[in-house]
Chain A
Amino acid sequence: MDALSLGIGHLLTLPVLVSVFAGTVLGVVVGVLPGLGSVVGITMVLPFTFTLGQIPALALMLGIYCGSVYGGSISAIVINTPGTPQAAATALDGYPMARRGEADLAIGWTTAASVIGGLFSVAVLIVAAPQLAAFSLNFTAIEYFALGVFALICIANVSRGAMLKGLLSGVIGLFVATVGVDHVTGDMRFTFDNFEMTAGISLVPAIVGLFALSEVFVRASETHVLKEQSMFRVGFRLPPWSEWKPRLGILFKSCAIGSFVGALPGTGAATAAFISYSEAKRSSPRRDKLGTGEPDGLVAAESANNAVTGSAMVPTLALGIPGDPVTAVMLGTFVVHGLAPGPRLFTEHLDLVYAVFFILIAVNLLMFVVGAVGAQAFTRVLRVPEPILMACVVVISLIGAYGVRGNPIDLIIAFVFGVVGFLFRKNGFPLAPMVIGMVLSEMIENSLRQGLLITRGDFLAFFERPIALALFVLTAAILLWPPIRWALDRRTKADTKKMDWTSE
């Protein structure tokens, strides 16, 4: 009870309330601007968190996270360009509604569905995270090793059609984090007698480069053809209860889908939105109208993508394992602020965990007010010339990279990762596995070495523990499934050809 009241106490302070408000508003703005996703948004506010306390910093980050997932839907509706990939499914019905002159109603549906999805996922977080943390207290180094490998493979695997590239990206991330001091023996690794490199390659400059700088380079590489963009009069109108009633089934089903997908490593809000949209298309009584401006599509996509936000924090908070780049950056920020997410967070800093719960509730409620009051104003942000915006993004992001340690080498690291990120993005190499690899590297290495100490150097003994064995089996299944599917497809095609030939 003490922790609970402390958690509420943390929320009800001026710096935290201001951070919640500023984070939510900035998050919506970042979401509205096409291309600047949640990761770039969080990277941009990173320098501001250096001077804040732990909880206001977290409040700012969580506000940006939830706000940006919602904000992307506004530009999807108004200009048919999703501000973030998570809002791509929203454009399918949002834009047709806007063209019918119902942009205000579309924003009303979107805002309400987003808030309900977000609150649903906070409930999932409140219920699931402590249980998972308590369960994981039984984990030894061996289970953590198996879990780390499993999470990384999941993330590489969802790089559709590019599993090899995803795995390479993940392994590069794991390797990059080994540069510097070996935490077990204290020896230097891959520093080549360079003093600056002894501190290693820290996560924040790498993320700044991979996401913020590479975004600018990618924009520079895209030939900008001015398209005729419609900009509708935007307002906010909530649909009546009679309109909601027949859609409650879709709403709660989508919330459940979003929460489930969000808790899985490697899947994000965009995946959740499309799965949920497909499910609505399969099961909705109004499925024939989907894609023509049917609110079912908005409800399905928006409640699902916002339901990811809370549940994605479940493995991040309870196990210290991020599920996507956004939660990886958040985890990095936790560490910058002296907190180590994982089961011990729940035993040693329970008040802080409760504060995170209350902050998420506050952010989601505030999102409704911000959406209702500011929808019109947010669309004006779209008029800022992109080249000016890009210059501003570079400057503020580099302060984030520099400010963590005040070391000029971090600026060089950010630049190198920016170029690498640009080349990777342009050639279909996913960046998420690299970031998650960097985050998980220390945990995977330490748990592997500790596990080998426990088993006296016998790696086969890792397979004798049931949870680890189950995770290893799942990892192997994920790795082996693509070649098996390829072989099966080939066989099916060959059989079909044979049948065609015999029938002729």
Chain B
Amino acid sequence: MTRVSWTTVIGAVSLLVAAYLFYHTFDPVYDVSIVTAGRGPVFFPRILLALMLVLSLAVTIEGLRLPHRFFSGRTLLIVVSTIALTGLYIGAITAVGFLIATVLYVFALPFLLGYRNVPVIGAVAAIYPLTVWYLFDKVFLIILPSSPWFDSF
């Protein structure tokens, strides 16, 4: 059985999203304003979504001619883990604070990407986040999310 290419998958997802949003533009909530020569807030987005529908369909069909090619085995695992780890890190920034989340992330990511020199990773994970946090939070006064347990970080 031939598997569909990722181009087709992306095209199809885009098609579905565009179809749903196009349908959504007919929601009564958008009938409130008819200024600008009778063109309300969804006048322009509706044109774009119509274009998106046509182009997504064309890309979906174009993708059917392409071979299925993506990652397999170990590479797929690394990619999915990297994306998941970054997602977790972003979630952790607001949950446990920037500094703690960053120390853990800077330690874990190189390890995940195959760099196993623990003393070097440990040193970088200790120094880099602290420097960056101090520089932005204390010197530049760009207040980064802090942890619920400590006042300062």
Q: Which residues of A contact B (CB under 8 A)?
A: 47-48, 50-51, 164-165, 167-168, 171-172, 174-175, 178, 182, 184-190, 213, 216-217, 219-221, 223-224, 385-388, 390-392, 394-396, 398-399, 402-403, 406, 408, 411-412, 414-415, 418-419, 422-424, 426-429, 444-445, 448-449, 452-453, 456-457
Q: Which 4 A-B pairs have the closest CB atoms?
A: A387-B110, A387-B113, A387-B115, A182-B41
B134 to A: closest C-beta gap in Å: 12
The secondary-structure label for the interface of chain A is: helix
> For residue A182, which residues in chain B have a CB less than 8 angstroms away from its CB?
33, 41
Residue in contact with A172 in the complex, picked from B14, B109, B114, CB distance below 8 Å: B14
> For residue B143, which residues in chain A have a CB less than 8 angstroms away from its CB?
406
In the complex with contacts A50-B140, A394-B109, A403-B136, A175-B41 CB distance below 8 A: no
- Measured between alpha carbons, how far is A449 from B87 in the docked complex, in Å? 39
20 contacts between A and B (CB under 8 A): A168-B52, A168-B59, A175-B48, A175-B52, A182-B33, A187-B30, A187-B41, A216-B82, A219-B113, A387-B110, A390-B113, A391-B109, A395-B106, A402-B144, A419-B83, A427-B6, A444-B44, A452-B36, A452-B39, A453-B37
Residue in contact with A185 in the complex, picked from B21, B36, B59, B102, CB distance below 8 Å: B36
> For residue B78, which residues in chain A have a CB less than 8 angstroms away from its CB?
220-221
- Measured between alpha carbons, how far is A171 from B129 in the docked complex, in Å? 38
User: Is B56 positioned at the interface, with any CB of A under 8 Å from its CB?
Assistant: yes
> For residue A223, which residues in chain B have a CB less than 8 angstroms away from its CB?
75
User: Is B28 positioned at the interface, with any CB of A under 8 Å from its CB?
Assistant: no
In the complex with contacts A221-B71, A399-B144, A427-B7, A445-B59 CB distance below 8 A: no
A221 to B: closest C-beta gap in Å: 5
- Measured between alpha carbons, how far is A173 from B101 in the docked complex, in Å? 31
Q: Which residues of B contact A (CB under 8 A)?
A: 5-7, 10-11, 14, 21, 24, 29-30, 32-33, 35-45, 48-49, 51-52, 55-56, 58-59, 62, 70-71, 75, 78-79, 82-83, 86-87, 89-90, 93-94, 102, 105-106, 109-115, 117, 120-121, 124, 128-129, 132, 136, 140-145
> For residue A186, which residues in chain B have a CB less than 8 angstroms away from its CB?
33
B117 to A: closest C-beta gap in Å: 8
Say yes or no: B87 contacts A415, CB within 8 Å. yes
> For residue B121, which residues in chain A have a CB less than 8 angstroms away from its CB?
388
Residue in contact with A396 in the complex, picked from B35, B79, B132, CB distance below 8 Å: B132
- Measured between alpha carbons, how far is A395 from B127 in the docked complex, in Å? 13
Closest to B107 in A: A391
A439 to B: closest C-beta gap in Å: 15
- Measured between alpha carbons, how far is A196 from B94 in the docked complex, in Å? 15
- Measured between alpha carbons, how far is A456 from B129 in the docked complex, in Å? 58
Residue in contact with B105 in the complex, picked from A394, A396, A428, A456, CB distance below 8 Å: A394
Beyond A190-B24, A391-B124, 9 additional contacts (C-beta under 8 Å) are A47-B140, A187-B41, A190-B21, A220-B79, A388-B110, A391-B110, A398-B90, A424-B10, A427-B6
Say yes or no: A189 contacts B129, CB within 8 Å. no
A132 to B: closest C-beta gap in Å: 27
Residue in contact with B44 in the complex, picked from A178, A395, A403, A456, CB distance below 8 Å: A178
Say yes or no: A395 contacts B124, CB within 8 Å. no
Residue in contact with A388 in the complex, picked from B71, B79, B124, CB distance below 8 Å: B124
Say yes or no: B110 contacts A457, CB within 8 Å. no
- Measured between alpha carbons, how far is A449 from B11 in the docked complex, in Å? 29
Say yes or no: B14 contacts A168, CB within 8 Å. yes
In the complex with contacts A217-B79, A419-B83, A449-B37, A47-B10 CB distance below 8 A: no
> For residue B40, which residues in chain A have a CB less than 8 angstroms away from its CB?
185, 187
- Measured between alpha carbons, how far is A427 from B79 in the docked complex, in Å? 15
A189 to B: closest C-beta gap in Å: 5
In the complex with contacts A50-B140, A178-B44, A221-B55 CB distance below 8 A: no
Closest to B39 in A: A449
> For residue B140, which residues in chain A have a CB less than 8 angstroms away from its CB?
47-48, 50-51
Closest to A183 in B: B41
Most interface-central of A398, A399, A445 (chain B CB within 10 A) = A399
- Measured between alpha carbons, how far is A428 from B52 in the docked complex, in Å? 17
> For residue A165, which residues in chain B have a CB less than 8 angstroms away from its CB?
7, 59
- Measured between alpha carbons, how far is A406 from B43 in the docked complex, in Å? 31
Residue in contact with B142 in the complex, picked from A47, A174, A429, CB distance below 8 Å: A47
